[in-house]
Structure 1
Amino acid sequence: MNPDDYLMLSGIQHFAFCRRQWALIHIEQVWKENVLTFGGRQMHRNADDPFFTESRGDVLLSRSVPLVSHTLRVYGIADVVEYHRSDTGVAIAGREGSWTVVPVEYKAGRRKPDDRDEVQLCAQAICLEEMYRTRIERGYLYYGKTRRRTEVILDDELRNRVAELVAGMYALYDAGITPPAELLPHCKNCSLVDLCMPAVSSRRRSVDRYLTVCIGKDET
């Protein structure tokens, strides 16, 4: 497959949050800013400097690192990748010694009740594993609201979850399907809620089901 046809890695977070939201953005090319997405964009702007490399003792930091996985067929950018000096690590161009690769993803808000941040971080790690031919056991999520970072263990369960989500993304993308709207509690946090109109769509489906039942009874 042509790498230009690969899906955006960042979309896995949208897909884990809501498949319809992912399809609106990545299939129908619809987007709308809200306070949550604006805050996230501002935080990423601070981290996105592709020429920035910082050395802190035995740790190197690189920002805005390009990523690709030919196994998952995704591409994207890692906010920050840390390289920790290690006897069992990999070689880094322009640096002596060996280094362990650790991805760090920045988020503007707080830790989510679901796994959307974890799967995005894990997908980044899988890309880095292919690029450096190594195994990455952990990564970190940094949350702007709490100014803390949380360690994420990249176990087989999380990796399988990433593979499942990416397969689902490709299934919808190849078919060109946008799932119907469904009103759920997390809709209030979605930047596309006014365009998606889940409340209206849900009521319409309820009316359609009611009419179908009524018509069926009349025919009998």
Structure 2
Amino acid sequence: MVVALTTIGNGDVVAQSASDLVHSMLEAHEARIEGVENYTLVQAVMGFETETYFEKRTLDGRSVFQASFAGADGQRSSPATGVEDVYALGEDLAKRSEYRGRESIGEYEVHVLDITDLRGTGFGSNVAQDSEFEPVRGSVFLDAESYVPRRLVFEGEMTRSGSAIPLTAIMEMGEYREVQGLLIPFRTVTTIEGLAAAIDPEVKAQFEQMQRELEELP
């Protein structure tokens, strides 16, 4: 187990572990959502507008939001992985994590938790809506001041034609804004590395042919 030493205002040094950081994250989140029972998140995803409805639930004695459904053009689907899933994982995140240390993401200082085993949690499995991705391990990058997630990394596999294809999904959460006490990331960018190998060969060939035809247009 890795323990960080952090200097506080009076010069004292205090130890930080994965458990300490997760506890601070959950306490900060619970304080922010006090008085809010539900909310609807409206997002623009690849040119389409989606709505995800969140309701407050109690898990392991703590208040968290869980997505009950997501919809686009009147069609319901399973919600994609988001920041609320980090909080919903709760104390289980601490049990499955090791503290890597402090790093920087742009102008922000972050604490990095490496999740050694994600199997059985469902966390990150829907990093893209209705995907077939099964994460095995991952990392959570928590803002050192607000304890909101600024980056999520998932490493796992996608099964295609009987073969397991390794994938890495990276979610970047930025432009956090306060909305009625909630801190909401107004920009989320998801990158999936290794996805090209998971694309059906026939579909890939059709796409490449279309690209060639477009390039030949006058």
Normalising by structure 2, we get a TM-score of 0.30
**Between Structure 1 and Structure 2, which shows a larger proportion of helix residues?**
1
| Higher RCO, 1 vs 2 (CA within 8 Å, ≥6 residues apart) | 1
Normalising by structure 1, we get a TM-score of 0.29
